[in-house]
Chain A
Amino acid sequence: MSETETEVVAAHRDPVVIDASIRALAGLRELLPSLVGALLLTDDGFEIARATQHGGTDERLASMASSLQALGEAIARELGLGDSEYALIEAHHGRVLLRRIANQPIILAGVFDDDETVGKAISVSRKLADELSAELASAR
């Protein structure tokens, strides 16, 4: 191995990424008390950090979110629509929002109960994504 070669650390094992992720999710909880759970995960479905209200998130949420995000991006690509911003699932008793952290192999998955307005879930998650993206970009 040459001296200049650096080992690429996976996001879910990188202390800088984990620390920033935990702080970002804590901030999200403060802004959105009705948040049932939120996860930051790698593109390939490994959990980086989580914030849950009452064990509300299934441990398979990270894998499922990774699949759904990839399918959403594949559809947008297939139709020539450019980058997809977020994906939203509206269910009877809540909603799930998935959003890429720009320029990072990281996805945010938020689970909200039905008291939260869609607009707030979208805007608050965008803020988190923008701030985390900026923080990680400057940490590199």
Chain B
Amino acid sequence: MPEHVILFAGPMGAGKTTAIRTLSEIDVVSTEAANTDRLQADKDTTTVALDYGEIAVGLDDKIRLYGVPGQSRFDFMWTILQQRAMGLMLLIHADAPNPVVAVGDQLGAFLDLANRGGLVIGITRSELGPRDVVDRVRTVASALLPERSIPVFAVDARDYEQMRTMLMALISDVEERAEMMRASR
């Protein structure tokens, strides 16, 4: 398996930073700043450049995990980090003002990556939001990308086993996608 670069995207407060900290085997490189925008997300800090973590695979291969800032004022980081990525882990918190709209916005912003690479969607904080969020997100995701079957998970970004299962689903989608791209060439 070659080295994989995975991008964690999603709105502010979705759990991108938490998920990378949960999964990474190295001390995460983080760029948290004091959060002054408590209306967007009521938390102490927010990511202003990136998160970076790693998972070793076999003897000398790695999965590199990059997280972006959620706020669109940092969208230049989305462009930069999207370029090298091969898979998109899209996280949406169930208690977001409108999770379904957020999925559409995020898939729009990361469409380039979603089209050429692997894609999974994780609904975080699901115990804090409406019950039907996963179903509604599944519906909108398959309407937006009808040719794909996109796995949608309910996950807790703090839970290692859940995040690991979701990441492995993404890695196999990345490999399937790469295989398809090669075959169509």
Using CB atoms and an 8 Å cutoff, list the residues of chain A in contact with chain B.
10-13, 42-46, 60, 62-64, 66-68, 70-71, 73-74, 78, 105
Contact = CB atoms under 8 A, between A and B. Distances in A.
Contacts of A73: 31
Contact of B36 (A46, A63, A68, A71): A46
Interface stretch (B69-77, B136-144, B165-173): B69-77
A70 B31 contact: yes
Contacts of A74: 29-31, 49
Interface in B42-67: 46, 48-50
A44 B35 contact: yes
Contacts, number: 61
A87 B35 CA distance: 22
B33 interface: yes
A76 to B, nearest CB: 12
Contacts of B69: 67
Of B36, B46, B50, chain A has the most CB atoms within 10 Å of the CB of B36
Contacts of A12: 36
Closest 5 CB pairs of A and B: A10-B36, A43-B33, A70-B31, A67-B49, A44-B33
Interface residues of B, number: 19
Interface string B22-36: 000000011111111
A6 B30 CA distance: 29
12 contacts: A12-B36, A42-B36, A44-B34, A44-B37, A62-B73, A63-B76, A66-B33, A66-B48, A67-B76, A67-B77, A78-B29, A105-B33
B76 A60 contact: yes
A106 B74 CA distance: 17
A70 B34 contact: no
Given A60-B73, A67-B74, A44 B29 contact: no
B154 to A, nearest CB: 29
B73 A67 contact: no
